[in-house]
Amino acid sequence: MVTSVDSDVLKALADPLRMRIVALLSREALCTTHLAEETGAKQTNLSNHLRILREAGLVDTEPCGRFTYYSLRPEALEALSAEFAALASAARLTAEAGVRRSC
């Protein structure tokens, strides 16, 4: 059974701009210039958000000349998805069995 969901990943995904970045990176690897065009965010703001996503293990970087391309790490999202699926399964079994602690 799952004991805890990775709070760093949840915090990283809790921001709307970071979720937008994740959605964009799910379709293709992009550099900050592309992300600025797509989101309208300033490049320095994007760099901070990308650092948070990278530190949470959600994105990888690939240097390409003077640019850095960012790509989504699908295994990180799959692991999070599996943790939530396990929590949902445990909750379903608990509800079906009527398990509750007496007061």
Q: For the chain, which residues make up each domain, given as ranges?
A: 7-93
pLDDT confidence of residue 6:
78
Name which of 46, 61, 58, 74 is nearest 13 in CA terms: 58
Name which of 53, 52, 33 is nearest 43 in CA terms: 33
| pLDDT exceeds cutoff 80 at 4 | no
Q: What is the spatial distance between Cα 59 and Cα 79, in angstroms, rounded to a whole number?
A: 14
Q: What percent of the chain has pLDDT over 90?
A: 80
Query: DSSP assignment, residue 59?
Result: E
pLDDT confidence of residue 1:
42
pLDDT confidence of residue 46:
96
DSSP strand pairing (30-31 vs 59-64):
unpaired
- Residues 6 or more apart whose CB falls under 8 angstroms from that of 16 comprise none
Q: Could you name the CATH architecture of 7-93? A: Orthogonal Bundle (1.10)
| pLDDT exceeds cutoff 70 at 67 | yes
pLDDT confidence of residue 52:
96
The answer, as to whether pTM is greater than 0.95, is no
